[in-house]
Amino acid sequence: MQENLEKVKLLARDLRNGKEFPRSPREKLGGYVIAARCVDKCRAFLLGMNGEYNYWPCSLASQWFAFAGITPEQFKEVVATRATDEELGRMDPRAFQGEQSRRGVEMEQQNARHETQ
């Protein structure tokens, strides 16, 4: 995956100044609680704007990563590509697991579309 930190910069919250904060852990993204907060902290981390907020290690985020079956590094790689909240919310967590898994997920999604037509 190719990083696009200029686009990430447009989406990120600056957590250094005490005026912006990561979203509540209760706010959902793609049906998951904690995920939106992880996105905010990850974007800020990628740009060095995380202030006192840790992207990783984070005990709350570790629960979501374990539940979703992904690692913080895999998630960070996808967030660094400039994915919007909408794009991240539509992704199957297995898509974060690398190129081979991503192809498998894409094939499953394509097959599901054909089955419903």
Residue 98 falls within a domain, yes or no?
A: no
Residue 117 falls within a domain, yes or no?
A: no
Residue 111 falls within a domain, yes or no?
A: no
pTM of this prediction? 0.78
Residue 65 falls within a domain, yes or no?
A: yes
Residue 97 falls within a domain, yes or no?
A: no
Domain of 40? 5-91
Which pLDDT score is estimated for 113? 61
Which pLDDT score is estimated for 114? 57
Residue 108 falls within a domain, yes or no?
A: no
Which pLDDT score is estimated for 109? 58
Looking at the 3D structure of the chain, how many domains does it have?
A: 1
Rounded to 5 degrees, φ, ψ at 110 are -65, -45
Residue 23 falls within a domain, yes or no?
A: yes
What is the rounded end-to-end Cα distance, in angstroms, of the chain? 31
Which pLDDT score is estimated for 101? 46
Residue 112 falls within a domain, yes or no?
A: no
pLDDT tens for the chain, 117 residues: list them. 678 899 999 999 999 989 999 999 999 999 999 999 999 999 999 999 999 999 999 989 999 999 988 999 999 999 998 889 999 998 877 666 654 444 444 545 555 665 555
Closest CA to 25 of 67, 82, 79, 78: 67
